């Protein structure tokens, strides 16, 4: 297939590109606006690969999207492009509305026109796979059952509200226009190439540099964690095997509190690069909670595991060790990112 993939220079998108080039024969047309969190380096062998082309364009630009479809004539769409950092959505929600809502609408319209012009087997095989988050479901209390594909929506932040809106648009285009869509919702991802404002790279890099490790509240907020390469493989499986109109909840069955995550990172670094000043847990600082901070997210992936014959291969400890090792081995990349893109910007705090 020729796959039009949006956001392919982002954290999850680049993992999908790498998986597609390494493990399939598909061609990738990568559409990315190249915002602050995008990295061509994350494409690895995708740079210059004969089955990958990078198109620098904004998904909210209707003329540009029409041109992309006309030029590249894709067989399917994988839509991952999104603004995704909750803290940034609180400080500046307009970019989230523009990219996540207007951008998704614009892409859907371009895809609808493209699909209408297809015939025969290509029209039958066309898919629009929209990649979303578990944050659209709101927050869970400690004893609540995990999110499933049937959990009602209850977004709490500008980020999750705009992702919820985009999910609804995708489903509306399926029901109203017959566009063959798929939706997947996932939990927190982690792994190589993640921008250093997110919890795991932020804590890893701060701990390496002897800086404070900021943790919201008392650190009891809980997230379900999925290694990004596992998610990439699952997304391709949704695209190839998913049922039109269906939703797939993709999770790793690895819930941890934020404080557990931070302490595990400290222990891994203490083993690998001991700090003469002492164990890194001494750097943990509890800070004021952010507005509307959801207590717990967790996905029950049972339906997806059964329907797609897929289970996340990595447990959290194995995946986190691989991630920490990657950041240790790729210091020039993240030092460059911090120097070039964090100058004058406030750092995030632990999710």
CATH class of 2-191+226-254+293-314: alpha beta
Give me the catalytic one of 58, 134, 197, 294: 134
Q: 158-177 vs 104-116: helix axis angle to the nearest 10? A: 20
Q: At CA 144, angle to CA 304 and CA 323, rounded to 5?
A: 55
Structural domain spans, the chain: 2-191+226-254+293-314
3 state DSSP class of 28: strand
Does 227 qualify as catalytic in the annotation?
no
Q: What is the pLDDT of residue 67?
A: 98
Our answer to whether residue 243 is catalytic in this structure is: no
Task: Determine the pLDDT at residue 351.
Answer: 55
For residue range 64-110, list pLDDT tens digits in order: 999 999 999 999 999 999 999 898 999 999 999 999 999 999 999 99
Rounded mean pLDDT, 231-238:
98
Model-level pTM greater than 0.75? yes
Buried b or exposed e, range 232-251, using 16+ CB within 10 angstroms: bbbbbbbbeebeeebbbbbb
How does residue 228 score in pLDDT terms, banded at 50, 70 and 90? Answer: very high
Q: How far does CA 188 lie from the centroid of its chain?
A: 8
Could you confirm whether 23 is annotated as catalytic? no
What mean pLDDT do residues 18-39 have? 97
Marked catalytic residue, from 32, 58, 135, 294 = 135
CA angle 306, 317, 216 (to 5 degrees): 100
How high is the pLDDT of residue 346? 43
Which of 83, 159, 297, 298 is the catalytic position?
159
**Does 347 have pLDDT greater than 60?**
no
């Amino acid at each position: 297939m020729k796959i039009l993939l949006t956001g392919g220079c982002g954290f999850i998108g680049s993992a999908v590109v790498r998986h597609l080039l390494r493990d399939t024969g598909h061609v990738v047309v990568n559409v990315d606006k190249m915002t602050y969190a995008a990295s061509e380096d994350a494409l690895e062998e995708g740079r210059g690969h004969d089955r990958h082309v990078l198109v620098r364009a904004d998904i909210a630009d209707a003329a540009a999207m029409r041109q992309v479809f006309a030029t590249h004539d894709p067989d399917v769409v994988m839509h991952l492009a999104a603004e995704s950092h909750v803290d940034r959505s609180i400080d500046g929600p307009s970019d989230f509305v523009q990219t996540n809502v207007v951008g998704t609408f614009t892409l859907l319209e371009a895809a609808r026109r493209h699909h209408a012009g297809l015939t025969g087997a290509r029209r039958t095989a066309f898919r629009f796979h929209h990649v979303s988050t578990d944050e659209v479901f709101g927050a869970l209390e400690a004893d609540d059952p995990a999110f499933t594909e049937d959990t009602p929506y209850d977004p709490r932040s500008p980020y999750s509200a705009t992702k919820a809106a985009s999910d609804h648009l995708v489903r509306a285009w399926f029901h109203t226009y017959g566009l063959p869509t798929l939706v997947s919702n996932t939990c927190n991802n982690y792994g190589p190439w993640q921008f250093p404002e997110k919890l795991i790279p932020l804590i890893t890099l701060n701990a390496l540099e002897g800086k404070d490790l900021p943790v919201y509240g008392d650190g009891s907020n809980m997230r379900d964690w999925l290694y990004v390469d596992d998610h990439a493989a699952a997304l391709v499986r949704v695209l190839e095997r998913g049922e039109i109109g269906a939703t797939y909840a993709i999770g790793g069955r690895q819930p941890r509190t934020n404080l557990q995550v931070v302490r595990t990172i400290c222990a891994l670094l203490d083993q690998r690069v001991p700090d003469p000043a002492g164990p890194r847990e001494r750097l943990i600082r509890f800070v004021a909670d952010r507005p509307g901070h959801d207590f717990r997210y967790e996905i029950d992936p049972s339906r997806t595991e059964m329907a797609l014959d897929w289970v996340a291969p990595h447990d959290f400890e194995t995946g986190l060790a691989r991630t920490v090792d990657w950041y240790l081995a790729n210091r020039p990349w993240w030092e460059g990112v911090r120097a070039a893109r964090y100058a004058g910007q406030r750092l995030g705090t632990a999710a």
